[in-house]
Structure formats: C-alpha cells, structure tokens
C-alpha cells in the first residue's frame, strides 16, 4: 500500500459564478480501519481563503500549521489579507523546501481574491508544483473518480 493511501481522502474544489466551493470527505482511517467520521481536513487561512490537505494526516496537519504560521507573519508585516496567487507561491515554497524528503500531503486551495472578489482555485503535487484551475481541482485517493464526475457535470457560471 502506498503512503498516499495510508489514510485516504477525497477532495474537490470548483469555481462558480462569483463563488468557489471546496469539499472533502470526513473519514479518518488507518488503512482499512476507520477511526473517526468527523475529521476536518479543511483549514481556514483567511476570511475568504480555505485550504484542504490531502494525503497523510500527520503531514496534512504539519503543513497546514506551518503555512498558517507563515501566513500570520505575512499579514502582520503587510497589514492586509493575503491574495490567493501570493498564497500559492507561499505553499509552493514551503513544499519545495522538502524536495528530497517531501511531505506526503498535497494542498488544494479555494478562495476569492480579497480586492477583486474573483474566484480562485489551485492544486499542487507533493513538492509544490502549482496548477491554477479555471474550472475544478480534484485530489486524494478518489481523485480520478471525482475528476470523471466533475467533467460530466461542471459547466461555467454555476451559482451556489
């Protein structure tokens, strides 16, 4: 069993008309055993910025905590909420620092730009390569299955 499948998850982020949606499963499991069914994988990083962490639970928490630390320092220095595109660079940098011993967790970002309100979603691989999406991003052990569903049902300008 691969390390990405040790805990398992399903994450999907979608762009709509002046809105974004981010969904995750709430299962915390260890291989085939389920420990809890109310586990949070989504972390709020700003008033309109959320990040969902897929993969290994320990790394998901470590990365989100380190990210929040860097984000807090940014907002103290800049005195304004971070914009999603800058946040993407922040995430990418944090993950690439561990290029030869990576975190087994990949973030999916969903948010609105603080100034323009434009919807924004992005996905990464475990070493920080960003893919900024215009329609939807899927991740996790059920990533391919979700991709199929999104391709079938998504169309532009869906309302909430």
Partner 1 sequence: MDFCIGIRGNDFVLLCEDMNAAQSIMLHKQDHEKMLDLNDHLLMTRTGNLGDGVQCAEFLQKNIQLYQIRNGYEMRSSAAAHYIRKYLADTLRSREPLEVNLLLGAYDVISNTPQLYYMDYLGSMATAPFCAHGYGAMFATSILDMYYHPGISVDEAIGILNKCIKELKKRLIINFSKFNVKVVDKDGIHKLPTISVEDGIHTH
Among 44, 58, 89, 145, binds partner 1 (CB under 8 A): 58
Give residue 55's region: left, alpha or beta (phi > 0; psi -120 to 50). left
35 binds partner 1 (CB under 8 A): yes
Positions 102 through 141 that interact with partner 1 (CB under 8 A): none
36 binds partner 1 (CB under 8 A): yes
Contact window for partner 1 (CB under 8 A) among 56-64, 78-86, 125-133, 149-157: 56-64
SS3 127: coil
- Calculate helix-pair angle for 84-96, 57-78, nearest 10 degrees: 130
101 binds partner 1 (CB under 8 A): yes
30 binds partner 1 (CB under 8 A): yes
What residue ranges bind partner 1 (CB under 8 A)? 7, 28, 30, 33, 35-36, 39, 56-58, 61-62, 101
């Amino acid at each position: 069993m691969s390390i990405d499948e040790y805990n398992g998850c399903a994450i999907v982020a979608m762009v709509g008309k002046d809105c974004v949606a981010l969904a995750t499963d709430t299962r915390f499991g260890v291989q085939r055993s389920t420990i809890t069914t109310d586990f949070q994988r989504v972390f709020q990083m700003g008033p309109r910025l959320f990040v969902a962490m897929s993969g290994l639970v320990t790394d998901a928490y470590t990365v989100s905590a380190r990210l929040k630390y860097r984000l807090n320092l940014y907002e103290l220095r800049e005195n304004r909420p971070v914009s999603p595109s800058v946040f993407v660079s922040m995430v990418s940098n944090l993950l690439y620092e561990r290029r030869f011993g990576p975190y087994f967790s990949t973030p999916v970002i969903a948010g609105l730009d603080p100034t323009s309100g434009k919807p924004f979603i992005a996905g990464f691989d475990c070493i920080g390569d960003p893919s900024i999406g215009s329609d939807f991003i899927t991740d996790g052990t059920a990533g391919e299955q979700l991709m199929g569903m999104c391709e079938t049902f998504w169309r532009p300008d869906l309302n909430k």
